Structure 1
Amino acid sequence: MVYFDLFRRSFPLNLSKSEVVVEPLQTEETDSDITALKQLAKNADIPLNSNKSFPKNQSEQKFYNFVGNLLKFGVLIASFIVLFGGIIYLIHHGCEPARYQFFRGEPSYLRSPNGVLKTMFLGSDRAIIQLGILLLIATPIIRVIISFFAFLTLRIWSFVLITLLVLTSLIYSLVGGYL
């Protein structure tokens, strides 16, 4: 109680009288670029806050469509190959009991792309599944390679450098296990 009285004496409050001070806000100077952009948007009937992208030129649009189709069809083809190999595997080995007592990795002939192709042509169902997985891994790598050459022809050097770094790390991660 003593502390509150000491505080009141140090900082007197007049709650009965209150004043409201109204100060006009200063108007900001309008940016000529913003007004020009608004005028351009009004003339073109484009809302300023829309998520619509501006139309690209025809070669850029073809490139984007090509890359999109590459990724889409690469994943679809790889998925169908894995599904086909899985169905064949279940037809041959579906009635066998699962033995989980010991871990058995992939045989050595299924650990390399060359071995997968050789055994796939011999009719191995596991090799068909492995081929689908290899295609699934190869799809984004092919996309990075195509992007590298596209940026190289367009001479966008920062994107060439970034794509080259990504491609280098992808190749190192694939080949690094053999070194």
Structure 2
Amino acid sequence: MYKNNSREPQPNHLEILKNNSEIDSNHKFVKTQTEQQLAFILSNFLQYGVLIANVVVLWGGILYLIEHGSETAQYQIFQGTSAELRSPISIINTVLSGSSTGIIQLGLLILVAIPVLRVIISFLTFLWTREFVYVIITALVLCSLGYGLIGAY
């Protein structure tokens, strides 16, 4: 192997690329500190968000069973969700009035909002780090999510 006699520091086993990602000597990608922090934040956000949503749904379910547990279910006629449980603002108003079905719907709303918020956080992070390819990709994903959520009305 070629031996370098100069006193200049040589990169040991890492090549630093233009976009600050790194490749080690085995040609495997190594995450930078910023990427590791973002991955840690997003994984914790998803983990605790789903946990919170499950606790809210469980709490609403327990309250619902306490209120309506002895009633007989009527499955002959389909009854959809009432109008007061179809928009986020009315769900919050229903929860504030103490409705157990409103609490269940709030838990489901939180569960749906978590991935949307993750995409928003990713979009802002990519915008802040000036990785414009990922900004465009996450913007397209955000537009698709927005169209899907708004198009439901």
By the TM > 0.5 criterion, same fold?
A: yes
Taking only aligned residues, the RMSD between alpha carbons, in angstroms, comes to 2.1
Partners in 1 of 2:29 and 2:150 — Cα distance? 39
Q: Structure 2 regions of 5+ residues with no counterpart?
A: 1-12, 15-23
Give matches, 1:30-109, under 5 Å. 40=13, 48=26, 54=30, 56-109=31-84
Residue 153 of structure 1, aligned match among 121, 128, 142: 128
Where 1:99 maps in the other structure, the secondary structure is coil
Radius of gyration: which is bigger?
1
Letter in 2 for 1:98: A
Look up the match of 1:129: 104
Describe the superposition over 1:58-85 as per-residue Cα deviations: whole angstroms up to 9, x where unpaired: 2222111111111111100001100000
Describe the superposition over 1:61-120 as per-residue Cα deviations: whole angstroms up to 9, x where unpaired: 211111111111110000110000001101111110110000000110011111100010
The size of the alignment, in residue pairs, is: 133
TM-score by length of 2: 0.80
- Please list every run of at least 4 consecutive aligned residues from structure 1 whose deviation after the TM superposition is greater than 3 angstroms: 46-49
Where 2:139 maps in the other structure, the secondary structure is helix
Q: Structure 1 regions of 5+ residues with no counterpart?
A: 1-39
